[in-house]
Amino acid sequence: DVKVTQSSRYLVKRTGEKVFLECVQDMDHENMFWYRQDPGLGLRLIYFSYDVKMKEKGDIPEGYSVSREKKERFSLILESASTNQTSMYLCASRELNQPQHFGDGTRLSIL
């Protein structure tokens, strides 16, 4: 079974802090994704990566950056956290032409 692990289930940070969300997958997948999930808005793609050190912007990249130094790890970075970034963040990975597998999410609160 594919396992996508997000390092924190809950995280509370302060406005202006630099925040790192970590995601690790154990199946040597090429593609990895970061989404945010908000009530009434569904899942929205922030960034995705199709290989080590490669990344592409999703639909809502503003205020975020990503890092993929190793194939199994994909990090989401909030450069200067703001209250409107309070959300559930979901990481996913997949092999080419296969379904995406999701982690259980990180619920991030920015105070």
* Residue numbers at the binding site for other proteins (CB under 8 A): 4, 31, 33, 40-45, 48, 50, 56, 58, 90, 92, 96-97, 99-105
| Structure token digits, residue 1 | 């079974």
Instruction: Tell me which residue has tokens 């690790």.
Output: 24
Which has the closest alpha carbon to 54: 85, 32, 83? 32
User: How many angstroms from the chain centroid is the CA of residue 1?
Assistant: 20
Residue 33 C-beta: closest distance to other proteins, Å: 8
16 vs 72 by CB, closer to other proteins: 72
Residue 45 C-beta: closest distance to other proteins, Å: 6
Residue 19 C-beta: closest distance to other proteins, Å: 20
| Structure token digits, residue 78 | 């909030």
